[in-house]
Amino acid sequence: MIHIVFNEAEVALMQKVQELDETLAGPVIQIKDDYSVGPIASIYETEGYQQRRDWWNALLEHSPYKDQLNMVDDKLTVHNLIKMLQENPEEEAWIWMGQNQHDVCGYYWLMPQLREFQGRVMILYMNNLPFINEKGNIFYPSWLYEIQPSEFLKAKKLARPITLSEYEVDPDEWLKLTQENAMVRILEGGKKIISKGEDYYDAEILKNITGEWQKASRVLQNTLNRMKVKTSDVFLMWRVKTLIEEGKLLAEGDLNKDWKSFDIKLSGNNKQAVENTAQTESL
């Protein structure tokens, strides 16, 4: 079997799982792009694909990951996956998916391309399922990497083929999302993804900024730690810089260097607006 995951940490995780259960032995493939953010119009066409790469390239500029764009080639990954399935008729592909928009959007992007292998593509969706954490307590994970390797031994029983009905309905859901072409996509429940504006996470960012100067990198880390609906640090920093351009934040330092090279604080008008919002939420 071929295992497909959507987060880098899960590649090593699945390798540990295979050490515990050799019946799960097989290569682990990662779909690397985060399809829950950014433009996705005509995503399977050259023009749409290039538009998305250009967008990511702009966001990655001055980030710690600016050299990593060329390491992401999901089209080539899928090409090689299809080749493996064609050359080995007995092979199965197992798609492992956590209950979050990142994994679900990755699934939506991937699965229409595997339609010819219906019956050989399995889905394992950890949707509202209880697991035991390291302290022995029950919890409901949103991400696969939150699950202990030993817990996957029972999770494998959830594997089922993607149905013919899903191959009809799910691509239509993804087509609708690509036509909406919003900048943010959020998991509402099950596999239901809804489109949101590019400012969806701005309130989370502003919660962690005051009228005092702070390192932008510190604000970013605080936001990532506290927010319930997660997204990437690259996307959040893009929003920080957009808020600066819009005059909602003030900045000092060099925005064209790394993320530690500038400080930020609320602008005067926006400080009052954020304080009023915080007071409203506390009532």
**φ, ψ dihedrals at 252, nearest 5°:** -135, 140
pLDDT in the model for residue 279: 46
What's the CATH number for 202-282? 1.10.10.10
pLDDT in the model for residue 276: 44
pLDDT in the model for residue 113: 97
96 neighbors 5 (Cβ within 8 angstroms): yes
Return the sign of the alpha-carbon dihedral for residues 109, 50, 34, 11.
positive
Q: Which CATH architecture fits 2-177? A: 3-Layer(aba) Sandwich (3.40)
**Going along the chain, which residue ranges are E strands?**
2-5, 28-30, 93-97, 121-125, 131-132, 138-139, 160-161, 184-189, 192-196, 214-215, 249-253, 262-266
142 neighbors 98 (Cβ within 8 angstroms): yes
pLDDT in the model for residue 251: 95
8-state DSSP, 136 = S
Task: For the chain, give every residue range classified as CATH 3.40.1360.10.
Answer: 2-177
Among candidate residues 138, 106, 112, the one with its CA nearest the CA of residue 125:
106
pLDDT in the model for residue 133: 86
Q: Count Cβ neighbours within 10 Å for each residue of 39-60 and write b for 16 or more, e otherwise.
A: bbebbeeeebeebbbeebeebb
**φ, ψ dihedrals at 264, nearest 5°:** -140, 155
pLDDT in the model for residue 46: 94
Return the sign of the alpha-carbon dihedral for residues 240, 273, 185, 49.
negative
pLDDT in the model for residue 207: 94
pLDDT in the model for residue 277: 46
Residues of the chain with pLDDT under 70: 69, 269-283
pLDDT in the model for residue 181: 98
pLDDT in the model for residue 221: 95
Task: For the chain, give every residue range classified as CATH 1.10.10.10.
Answer: 202-282
pLDDT in the model for residue 77: 96
Secondary structure (3-state) at 281: helix
**Going along 105-211, which residue ranges are E strands?**
121-125, 131-132, 138-139, 160-161, 184-189, 192-196
Q: List the structure tokens of 217.
A: 């990198």
